[in-house]
Amino acid sequence: MRRNLFLYLAIACFAALIAIFIVDGYLGIYDTTYVTAGEREQTIEADYWLRYPPSETAKMTYQVSAEWGQKVFFRYEIDNRRFSTYSTLVQASVWQENEKVLDLFSEEESIGPFDKAMVEWTLSTQDLEKAGFGVDERTQYTVKISHGEVERRIVVDLRYPREVEPTPPR
């Protein structure tokens, strides 16, 4: 009887271990970014940023390519997998060489428990031109997305489109 008790307790420990993996691994604030440049949509799942320790996440970037003149569309989804409401200021801005170029988006969001919120904004090269920024042959800008203590960096690689000779009609 006593020896079985040890076995049952060991099994209970194992079950608790698995429960922690599921609950603690699932609960939290998760974000997904959808970036559409040209005809291609890219999805940056929360897993991408979680692959590295939190100390290194701030240094991580994701690269997106676009042509000058194109608009880059961003959709940002915050998934609140917690038992309390998550209130935060969601901000997005464009940076180059550690200087802010442009504010893209800023909105206070309040997300209920186990609910999601989606925000959208557009990076337009015309707005960059108005702010006095341009592109040589190829220029990179960083779009910083932040809410709470989370900051994501997406590098937008802007290329000037090559001149294309018009095809004469047949």
Partner 1 sequence: MRTYILYGFGILLCLSGVGYLAAEYVKYLSEPGKLACLMLMVGMFALLGRYFKEIGW
Residues that bind partner 1 (CB under 8 A): 2-3, 6-7, 9-10, 13-14, 16-17, 20-21, 24-25, 28, 50-51, 53
Burial (CB < 10 A; 0-12, 13-18, 19+), residue 40, is: exposed
Nearer of residues 24 and 136 to partner 1, judged by Cβ:
24
Cα separation of 30 and 13, whole Å?
28
Nearer of residues 6 and 83 to partner 1, judged by Cβ:
6
Nearer of residues 25 and 168 to partner 1, judged by Cβ:
25
Minimum CB separation of residue 19 from partner 1 in Å reads 10
Cα separation of 169 and 71, whole Å?
29
Minimum CB separation of residue 154 from partner 1 in Å reads 22
Minimum CB separation of residue 6 from partner 1 in Å reads 4
Nearer of residues 27 and 131 to partner 1, judged by Cβ:
27
Asked if 59 and 51 touch (Cβ cutoff 8 Å), the reply is no
Asked if 40 and 65 touch (Cβ cutoff 8 Å), the reply is no
Instruction: Give the total residue count for the chain.
Output: 170
Minimum CB separation of residue 149 from partner 1 in Å reads 13
Minimum CB separation of residue 83 from partner 1 in Å reads 15
Q: DSSP string of 92-147?
A: EEEEETTEEEEEEEEEEEEE-TTEEEEEEEEEEHHHHHHTT---SSEEEEEEEEEE
Nearer of residues 12 and 89 to partner 1, judged by Cβ:
12
